[in-house]
Chains A and B, each alone.
Chain A
Amino acid sequence: MKRYLLQKTGGFVLTAILVSILTFFVIQILPGDPALLMLGTEATPEIYARVRMEMNLDKPVLQRYFGWFADFLKGQWGNSWRYSMPVRDLVARAFPLSILLAFLSVGAALLVATPAGMFMAARPKTYSARLISVLTQAGLGLPQFWVGLLLIQVFAVNMRLLPAGGNSSYASFLLPTLTLALPRAAILSRFMRVGMADALRQDYIRTARAKGVSSRAIFFKHALRNGSLAVVTVAGLQFAQLFAGTIVVEQVFGLPGVGQLLLTGVFQRDLPLVQAVVMVIVFLILLFDLAFDLCLGLLDPRIRYE
């Protein structure tokens, strides 16, 4: 266990450094100069040089990278070029929202997908199971921005029940959560069905049945625990993916999350902002990955940490 944690931490640091180098240099390579993007068609050489100087762009790339790295470790994340405010403030505002949204939507997805998948596995031939299967197909196929706009149209414009956007009340999280949960529930229910169906075919199930264990206990105890491993893994991945923000849904619902921050940062080549956001995402994902590994061990005692 100790060795495992040590290895993990080593990989952790290495990944973080690698990602920081990659992000930094990818932004350098991208065509389009941050100073030029700010100035647009009004740029003159004097103004341009002035803005570049303020962004430190007149220094050599390597010097800038190491300068950034040292400052980052010291906790000095600098000012965002686009927003003229400390990157730390921006990050501190965006992440809680994205994490909350990730919790809500994956939670909602699991809440729907688990029983739906179990039902499909238990009664595969019924009309209801087929109907659910068709619905999951639809859930997978519908584009998120369209679902989001449709939900706003119905619940905010026509029925005037829920806010059309923003994050001023708890109710305003309902529609974005629903939009994000829909395709995720579709995927999860399919994994649930396959996992359960697979588990139900295993030898130990036959053994349990032969020993006279009730079919209810077999289904909910033996099969469920083994059949849900894949679902938990996928839900974990979905969760980690949502940390990093959801550009489309944030744009449609006007939510100030990580996705929007990162998108604006990339479009404007706002290096300090992009670097910091990416680093926090990496950190969270690695942390989450570790926690998740340990959790899987609880679910499946056969997993060993070596």
Chain B
Amino acid sequence: MVALLFEGFEAVWLPCSLVLLVPGLAATIGGRAQPVLALAGFAPSMVLASWVRFSERGGDWPTLVIAAVLAVAAIALALPADRIRQVGSVGGGVLAGGAAAALWEPCVGPEFGLLLNTLPDRGADGLALMAVYGLGLLAPLAAAAAVLKLVPEWMLHYGEAAMNVVGAAALGVMAATVAVGLHDEVIGQLFRWSLG
């Protein structure tokens, strides 16, 4: 189980993982000063949707559905009313997590491979092991949420609007690129930039 967790950590640096990390980071940053809530929506949703798909309990999502879900997630994050900001943060995270899982075509190491090869025949323990892998893989998002929690509240409040716009806009752009079929190219460009 530790090896699976560690392999999740390693996968953070794989280009295949960017398709999860970009919307996850967008939701966490854009979560209206509620990064932990946004992540609490994103991570379980991503793990659950991946488990459903990879265990053959559910099929592919049509591309336009994925784009629409990402667009709704962007709108949820951008909801202006203060009293529903928490709902918007969690909801945006849940939707972004589901859509990210639907787009995910993972690069698979030995431990994750052992899990995936047996996932259709496993029960709830398969879901638990997917969560262990996801814990490692989504560590950067936890780090981002932790950093945001360490920022003084007055400062966070001051930059909330800007972060909200950035997060929601990133999800909106992702929705548009998925809809027109340019998503792979955009993620690929991000990967090339990451290589310097």
Q: Do A and B come from one complex?
A: no
Mark B residues whose CB is within 8 Å of A: none
Mark A residues whose CB is within 8 Å of B: none
